[in-house]
Amino acid sequence: MRRLAALLIAVACKLVPTHLRAQYEAEWSAECQTIALSHGVRSSLSYAGRLVLGAPRTGFVLRTNNRPVLFDVLLLSITLMVPTVFFMVHAVVTRQSLVALAYSGLCIGLLVVASSAWSAESGLFGGKISASGLIIVLVCSAAITFMNLLADTHNPALDGPIRVLPGSVGVQIGLLVVMLSAWLGAQRVEVARLGLSLMTLGLVIWATIGVLNTVLVETWGERIFHAVSVPSALAVASGCWLIRREGPALIAPKPSQEVVLVS
Amino acid sequence: MATPFRLTSQTRLLLTYLLGDATSDHYGFEILKATGLKPGTLYPTFARLEEAGWIEGRWEHIDVETTNRPARRYYRLTAHGSTEATAALARHAEKAALKAPTVLGGLSS
């Protein structure tokens, strides 16, 4: 039973930020052992269980404390997941296996970027995990664009009466610049902000063409695809712009700007 | 003066409890039991209050071998925190009192 409580605490601690992990592990273990002595092992186990249940919230609040833009990074990735999954299902239904594979890759890339943002303690877009996620997103989105241009694939959101190509190319160039910024030193923040500006511009172009296409298309089936992509593009554009604005503090926080919650 | 964090109902509950015995040390499990707060709310709130300097945490000084248990982490309101918390709770109560007649008036009219 004690081992189980220790295991539960270890699981709970995995979810809190690294710099607070040791403190919480010591605090919660001591609390658990004291409860076991005074109230019995069951109470101690119940406390450990409650800690595990509350740990995702504890971790989330502690990570995003004073860093509200982190909410936006996570929200941005989740927002992008919605049309990506929608288009992936469409590719599966229409038996476009390579396109479906590219969309699956895009989903994985977005999840990797979101998870690296979640654990980002030295700034966004700086770590290897973040760079890997961005590479996957870039490769998969470029593959989708090229397949749509060169191969006989069909995606109503990308085709439409006016092609969204200028928008998608803008986003991809922006992504490339953001990705490359990870390898830069002093100019990292400025380059990442430039990439985010390009992404915002690309997404606004995408959304504008999407709105026009929504009006111009003739069938409701095609209209749904634009209806899904336009709000997502606008939401992600605003997220990119927000991160760009908060850039220095978020992308490469100075040691004095880092949140030290417990002395 | 505004508080350096959002004064949520949970934060108010915690502060009220701590102010109830401001000179004593309190530990997590005790507060959870007394206030009914959840661990996912309590520990981030501790962190916020500690960051703002309203409370301070310290490890219990015990002889681990004699007591046969590890040292607990205790929390206590600082002098600054005690003053600020009292003022913040009073301001909140005032605001709530001001709002109440308006709502009632709105309902009765």
Domain ranges of chain A: 2-63, 66-254
What is the CATH architecture of B9-100?
Answer: Orthogonal Bundle (1.10)
Q: How far apart are the CA of B41 and the nearest CA of chain A, in angstroms?
A: 7
**Chain B environment of A23 (Cβ under 8 Å):** 73
Residue A72 has pLDDT above 80, yes or no: no
Among A172-176, A178-182, A230-234, B16-20, which stretch is predicted with the lowest mean pLDDT? Answer: A178-182
pLDDT in tens, B43-72: 999 988 998 899 999 998 888 788 778 889
Please answer whether residues A113 and A69 qualify as being in contact, where contact means their C-beta atoms are separated by less than 8 angstroms. no
Q: Do A260 and B51 touch (CB under 8 A)?
A: yes
**Chain A environment of B32 (Cβ under 8 Å):** 47, 50
Predicted confidence at residue A262, as pLDDT, reads 36
Place A201 in a pLDDT band, splitting at 50, 70 and 90: very high
Per DSSP, A256 falls in state G
Residue A77 has pLDDT above 90, yes or no: no
Predicted confidence at residue A73, as pLDDT, reads 67
The closest alpha carbon to A226, from A238, A215, A237, A236, belongs to A215
Helices (H), A151-219: 165-181, 188-216
Q: Do A58 and B39 touch (CB under 8 A)?
A: yes
Residue A231 has pLDDT above 80, yes or no: yes
What's the average model confidence in pLDDT over A229-257? Answer: 70
Query: CB neighbours of A141 closer than 8 A, spacing ≥ 6?
Result: A102, A106, A168, A171, A172, A175
Whether the CB of A261 is below 8 Å from some CB of chain B: the reply is yes
Domain boundary assignment for chain B: 9-100
Predicted confidence at residue B104, as pLDDT, reads 47
Place A119 in a pLDDT band, splitting at 50, 70 and 90: low
Please name every residue paired with B27 in a beta bridge, in sequence order, or none if there are none.
B74
Q: Do B27 and A31 touch (CB under 8 A)?
A: yes
* Nearest residue of A to residue B59, measured between CA atoms: A27
**Chain B environment of A20 (Cβ under 8 Å):** 47
What's the average model confidence in pLDDT over A147-168? Answer: 80
Predicted confidence at residue A10, as pLDDT, reads 92
Predicted confidence at residue B106, as pLDDT, reads 45
Average pLDDT score, chain A? 81
User: Which residue, among B6, B33, B43, would best test binding to A if mutated, counting the most A CBs under 10 Å from its CB?
Assistant: B43
Whole-number Cα distances in Å, A38 to A57, A130, B37, B67: 28, 46, 21, 12
**Chain A environment of B29 (Cβ under 8 Å):** 31, 34-35, 47
User: Which residue, among B5, B56, B69, would best test binding to A if mutated, counting the most A CBs under 10 Å from its CB?
Assistant: B69
